[in-house]
Amino acid sequence: MKLGIRMYGMGGQGIMTLAKLVGEAAVEDGKFVIMTEEYSPYITGGWSKAELVISDESIDYPLLEGLDYLVTLSQEGLDTALDQLGPRSHVITEKSLVSVPDTLKSRSVEIPGVEISKSLKNPKGANIVLMGVFSSVTKTFSMESGRRAITKRFPKYVDANIGCFERGYEEGVKYGR
Amino acid sequence: MTDVLPPGRYFTDGNFASTEGAILAGCRFFAGYPITPSSEILERMSKRLPEIGGHFIEMEDEIGSMAAIVGASNAGMKSMTATSGPGFSLMQENIGLGMITETPTIVLDEMRAGPSTGIPTRVGQGDVMQTRWGSHGDLAPITYSPNSVQESFDLTITAFNAAETYRQPVIIASDQVIGHLSETLEVKSEDEYEIVQRQTRKVRNGSEDVYNYSDDFVPMFVSGTGFRGNVDSLTHDEKGYPSNEAYVEKKMLEHLLNKVRKNEDKIVKYEEFYLDESDIVVVAYGITSRAAKYAVKIARKEGIKAGMFRPITLWPFPEKRITQLSQRTKTFIVPEINYGQYSHSVREVGQIETKEIHFTPGAVPDYKVILDQIRRSVS
Amino acid sequence: MTSLEFHPKHQYVREERFPHVWCPGCGLGILLQSYIGAVEKSGIPQDNHVLVSGIGCTARIPGYVNMDTYHTTHGRAIPFATGIKLANPDLKVTVISGDGDLFNIGGNHFIHAARRNMDLLVICSNNFNYGMTGGQHGATTPPTSKSASTPYGNIEPAFNLPHLAYALGASYVARWTVMHPRQLVKSIKTAMEVKGFAFIEVLSPCPPNFAKFNGFADGFEEMEFYRSNSIVRNEAKLDDISIDPFHGKPVVLGDFVNRKRASYVTLERELIKKSMEGSR
C-alpha cells in the first residue's frame, strides 16, 4: 500500500493538526509516513496545505505521485485539485463549506463536520470529525491508534476530541468503503 | 523529567529533531537570530534549554550569535546556533574565529533559495561551497548533510562529537525541506548514544602552552579555571601569543588543516546504493538524494546499471571513494538544487564524464528529471 | 628583556610579552595599569577576572594581562563576552576596546548589551580615530577635526558616549582621561561592583595620528589640551556633554550614573529557576 493524500484548509481550521494527527496515528500503526506542508504567503487567514505519503515500506521520495485522497475544508482546496483527481481518487469534504460537482459525487464523502462538532459541544473539532472519517474510509490507521494520537496531542481535551473522532469514524463507516 | 527526549517513535519534523539531537549531545547554550526556515529550532531551544538549566539568548544579529557561541564554548559549554543563507553569510567571519582559536561549536545552516534574501520559505542547496570556502583564509571544515528527520537527529549528535574531537566549528548543511518535513524519528535511550564529552585542561603549572601544533588534539582551557591563557584571532604561536612571523603562520595553519586531513578516514561518511557493477553513479546529497534514490530504483527495474553515492560529510570531500568509483564507472550524474556547485569537486576528483543537473531553487527536485538523465546516459 | 619581577604588580602581567606594541606618548599603558590597579583593589580573585577585546590598539591590552584573555574579531568583543558571562555568571567579565571597535563596527552589539543590562564592564579607550590603520575618522571624531580620511575637516557629528550608554539603560556610566589615573582606577573598581551593564569612556591620545593631524606636537600636548579644558561634573546633564574641544567647549568628566536596574544575569537566573521547577 502506498497512498498520496492532500489536506487543505484555511488558516484556523486546524488542517495541520489534522494532518499531524493522521501521521502520528499511522506511525503508531507501524506505517511509514512522510508529510510536507505549504502555506499561502499571507501571515494569517490564507490557505494551508499538507501532503502525506503513507506506505507499508520506507519512503524515499517525499512528494505525491498521485492524489488518492483529498481532504478539504475549503472550496479552494477542491477547485485547485480538480485537474489532479484521477479515476481512483477520492474526496472527503466538509459539507457546509464545499460543494462537490455531480461528476465527483460517487467518489466523495461529504461530512457536516462543523455541525457534528457543535452538537458534541466541541465547536472547534470539525477537523477531528474528519480525522475519524479518514480513518474508517482509508483504513490507514486503527481507531485505537487514532485515540492514542489524540490523547498525546490534547491531554487536557481528550474526551471532547475522542468524541468527535469516534463520531466521524461512524459517519465514514456509513459510506461503506 | 529527564533532560533529553524520551526514547520512542515520533512523527515529527527536522527542526524538532535537530534541536533534540543537540540537547542529547550536551548542547547547553544557544544564541541565534530568527530566520526562516530555521526559526523553529531557536523557538524550541528557548523553551527547552532553560528547563534543563541551559542558556538561551536571542541576539541582535547573526554576527553576535556566532560570537556568543564561540565565547560560551570557551567558558566550557557545548554551544550551537541555527540559521539560513543570509544569516550564514553574516556568521562567516566568526566561523573563522572559531577555526583559528580551535573552539568547538555547531552551526546549522538550513539552506533556502538564494542569492541574497531569495525565497525564504523555499528550498535551495546553494550554500554547499560556502560551507567549504565561506570564511576567508585556508580552512579544513567539516560539513554534514542530513537527508531525513532521523539524520537531523543522529547527525547533530555526530557533529557535536566531531566538534569536540577536532576542536573546531562544525557545520550542518540541512535544507528547508528536511527542516520542515515530518516523518518517523526513532529515539534510543540516552545511554545507547556515544557522546564525546569536553576535555579540558587542568590549572596551568606555569609552563604549559595553550596549543601544541605537533599534536592533533590538545584539550582546551576553560575561562575562569586559573589557566591564564590567551585566545587570539591573530595568527598565534603555541603559547597563544600573536605573531607576525611566516614560520608561525605555517606551523599554526598546517596544524589546523592537518588535524582534519590526517583523520579524513575517520570523519568521512557516505551511503552507497546499488554501486556494484554500475555504469552510472548519481552523486546526490540532502533532499536531492531522496529523489535520486527513487530514480535509481526505477532505473534498476528497467535493467539500467545505475547506482547512487550519497556523501553524508560534504566536507572533507570523500576523495578516496570517488576516486575508486571513477575507476569502475563511466559517468557521474550530480543533481543539485543550484546551478552546479558540488559537481565541480566530483569532476575534479573523478576525472570522468560528469553530468550536472541543475534544479532551480524553490522546490523538491523532480525524480523524473534525474531518471531521464540516467536513461539518456545509457543510450 | 627587562625583568618586571620587582614591579609591585608584576603578577598581573605577562612579562615575556614586553616591550608592548604601543607608540611613545600613547595613553594605553596608563589604561593597562589602571585596569590592573582596579583588579587588585576589586577583591575579586585574579582568576575570576576575564578580559575580552576586539581589534585595534586598545584591543591589544588583554594580551599583556596575566589572566584568561580573549582577543576576538573586529567589533565582536561584546557578544563574545556575553557568551562567556552567560556560560559562567560567576566570572567578572570586562571588555576593553577602542572607540572604532566598540562604536563603529560594533555599535549594534553595544546598544543591545546596554539595553539588556548585560552584566559586563565595557571600557572604551577613545582616541577619536582609528589608530592602528593610520588615523582615519570614525563615529567619535569631533566636528571639524582632521584625520587621515577627513583632510578638509570632519563634517559628521560625533557620538556622545555617556549619554548614549545612559539612554540605553546602562547601570553605571563614567568618563575620565588617562591624565586622571587615580579617578580612573577608582571608577573601574566601582564599575566592577555593579550588577548589570557598566560603561567607562577613557580619553586617550594618539600621537602619530589624531595628535599629528590636529596640530599637537605629541601625545602629551594633546592630553594636556583636554586636561586643561576639562571640568569634573558628576551631576552633569548628559545630553550636554558631547566632546567638541576645538570650538571652546570644555570636556566634561565624572562618575555620572550608578543606578540599580535588574540585570540580565539576575533575570535569567530567575527564569531558569522558574522553568526548571515548572518542568518537573
Q: What is the DSSP string of B168-205?
A: SEEEEEEEHHHHH-EEEEEE--GGGS---PPPBPPPP-
Quote the DSSP letter at residue C145: -
pLDDT bracket for residue B203 (50, 70, 90): confident
pLDDT at residue B368 is higher than 80 = yes
Average pLDDT, integer, range A38-46? 79
Domain hosting A91: range is 2-174
Residues in B touching C279 (Cβ below 8 Å) = 1, 51-52
d(C-alpha C125, C-alpha C98), whole Å: 5
Are B31 and B57 in contact by the 8 Å Cβ rule? The answer is: yes
Q: Which cell numbers in the block locate residue B8?
A: 520512542
Average pLDDT, integer, range B11-27? 98
Q: Quick check: do A and B touch, 3+ CB pairs under 8 A? A: yes
Distance from CA of A52 to the nearest CA of B (A): 9
Which of A33, A41, A63 minimises the CB distance to B364? A63
pLDDT bracket for residue B1 (50, 70, 90): very low
CATH number of B8-192: 3.40.50.970
Residues in B touching C73 (Cβ below 8 Å) = 67, 93-94, 96-97, 233
Residues in B touching C276 (Cβ below 8 Å) = 50-53
- Is the minimum CB–CB distance between C135 and chain B shorter than 8 Å? no
Residues in B touching C272 (Cβ below 8 Å) = 50, 53, 55
pLDDT at B204 (0 to 100):
66
With an 8 Å Cβ cutoff, are C278 and B51 in contact? yes
* B316 Cβ contact partners less than 8 Å away, ≥ 6 residues apart: B140, B142, B260, B261, B264, B267, B268
CB atoms within 10 A of CB B362: 15
pLDDT at residue C28 is higher than 70 = yes
With an 8 Å Cβ cutoff, are A35 and B294 in contact? no
- Is the minimum CB–CB distance between C112 and chain B shorter than 8 Å? yes
For A22, which residue in chain B has the nearest alpha carbon?
A: B11
Least confident of A158-167, B279-288, C249-258, C271-280: C271-280
In chain B, which residues fall in CATH 3.40.50.920?
Answer: 270-378
What kind of architecture, by CATH, is found in domain B270-378?
3-Layer(aba) Sandwich (3.40)
For B227, which residue in chain C has the nearest alpha carbon?
A: C68
Q: In what order do the strands lie in the sheet with C68-71?
A: B230-232, C68-71, C49-53, C92-98, C121-126, C198-203, C172-177, C251-258, C230-232
For B179, which residue in chain A has the nearest alpha carbon?
A: A36
With an 8 Å Cβ cutoff, are B231 and C71 in contact? yes
Count of B-C CB contacts under 8 Å: 148
Number of domains within chain A: 1
| Residue B129: its H or E element | helix B128-133
Identify the chains in contact with C, defined as 3+ C-beta pairs within 8 A: B
Question: The domain that contains C54 carries what CATH number?
Answer: 3.40.50.970
pLDDT bracket for residue B224 (50, 70, 90): very high
Residues in A touching B11 (Cβ below 8 Å) = 20, 23-24, 26-27, 33, 35
The per-residue pLDDT for range C71-112, each reduced to its tens digit, is 999 999 999 999 999 999 999 999 999 999 999 999 999 999
Average pLDDT, integer, range B210-230? 93
For A26, which residue in chain B has the nearest alpha carbon?
A: B11
Which of C70, C88, C91 minimises the CB distance to B231? C70
pLDDT at residue B345 is higher than 50 = yes
pLDDT at A130 (0 to 100):
98
Residues in B touching C269 (Cβ below 8 Å) = none
Average pLDDT, integer, range B21-25? 98
Are B175 and B37 in contact by the 8 Å Cβ rule? The answer is: no
With an 8 Å Cβ cutoff, are B184 and A33 in contact? yes
Average pLDDT, integer, range A139-166? 96
* B199 Cβ contact partners less than 8 Å away, ≥ 6 residues apart: B164, B219, B220
pLDDT at residue A47 is higher than 60 = yes
Q: In what order do the strands lie in the sheet with A47-55?
A: A108-111, A85-94, A67-72, A2-10, A47-55, A32-39, B182-187, B8-13
Q: Which cell numbers in the block locate residue B156?
A: 547533530
Which of C67, C78, C271 minimises the CB distance to B50? C271
Distance from CA of C4 to the nearest CA of B (A): 17
Which of B75, B229, B241 minimises the CB distance to C84? B75
Number of domains within chain C: 1
- pLDDT > 90: what percent of chain C? 94
Residues in B touching A131 (Cβ below 8 Å) = none
Which of A28, A37, A41 minimises the CB distance to B180? A37
Q: Which of C101, C176, C177, C113 is nearest to C139 (CA)?
A: C101
Residues in B touching A36 (Cβ below 8 Å) = 177, 180-181, 364
Average pLDDT, integer, range A3-26? 96
pLDDT at C8 (0 to 100):
86
Average pLDDT, integer, range B29-58? 98
* SS3 category, C55: coil
pLDDT at C1 (0 to 100):
47
Q: Quick check: do A and C touch, 3+ CB pairs under 8 A? A: no
With an 8 Å Cβ cutoff, are C71 and B74 in contact? no
pLDDT bracket for residue B206 (50, 70, 90): low
Are C52 and C93 in contact by the 8 Å Cβ rule? The answer is: yes
pLDDT at C280 (0 to 100):
62
d(C-alpha C79, C-alpha B30), whole Å: 13
Identify the chains in contact with A, defined as 3+ C-beta pairs within 8 A: B
Which of B61, B68, B232 minimises the CB distance to C83? B68
Residues in C touching B4 (Cβ below 8 Å) = none
Domain hosting C216: range is 22-278
The per-residue pLDDT for range B120-134, each reduced to its tens digit, is 999 999 999 999 999
Q: Average pLDDT, whole number, for chain A?
A: 95
Are C110 and C84 in contact by the 8 Å Cβ rule? The answer is: no
Q: Which of C53, C78, C12, C86 is nearest to C269 (CA)?
A: C86
Interface test with chain A among B151, B182, B366, by most A beta carbons within 10 Å:
B182
pLDDT at B216 (0 to 100):
87
With an 8 Å Cβ cutoff, are B229 and C280 in contact? no
With an 8 Å Cβ cutoff, are B52 and C279 in contact? yes
- pLDDT > 70: what percent of chain B? 99
Strands A2-10, A47-55: pairing kind: antiparallel
Residue C5 in domain: no
- Is the minimum CB–CB distance between B181 and chain A shorter than 8 Å? yes
Average pLDDT, integer, range B138-167? 98
pLDDT at residue C3 is higher than 80 = no
CB atoms within 10 A of CB C18: 12
Residues in C touching B230 (Cβ below 8 Å) = 14, 62-63, 69-71
With an 8 Å Cβ cutoff, are B50 and C66 in contact? no
Q: Which of B246, B247, B163, B252 is nearest to B214 (CA)?
A: B252
pLDDT at residue C199 is higher than 50 = yes
pLDDT bracket for residue C5 (50, 70, 90): confident
Question: The domain that contains A141 carries what CATH number?
Answer: 3.40.920.10
Q: Is the pTM of this model over 0.90?
A: yes
d(C-alpha C38, C-alpha C26), whole Å: 20
Tell me phi and psi for residue B39, to 5 degrees. Answer: -55, -30
pLDDT bracket for residue B205 (50, 70, 90): low
Q: Average pLDDT, whole number, for chain B?
A: 96
- ipTM score for this prediction: 0.97
The per-residue pLDDT for range C119-134, each reduced to its tens digit, is 999 999 999 999 999 9
pLDDT at residue B207 is higher than 80 = no
Which of A20, A60, A61 minimises the CB distance to B182? A20
Q: Which cell numbers in the block locate residue C269?
A: 537566573
- pLDDT > 90: what percent of chain B? 96
pLDDT at B379 (0 to 100):
75
Average pLDDT, integer, range B208-237? 94
With an 8 Å Cβ cutoff, are B51 and C279 in contact? yes
- Is the minimum CB–CB distance between B271 and chain A shorter than 8 Å? no
Find the radius of gyration of the CA atoms of chain C: 19
* Residue C154, strand partner residues: none
Distance from CA of B291 to the nearest CA of A (A): 5
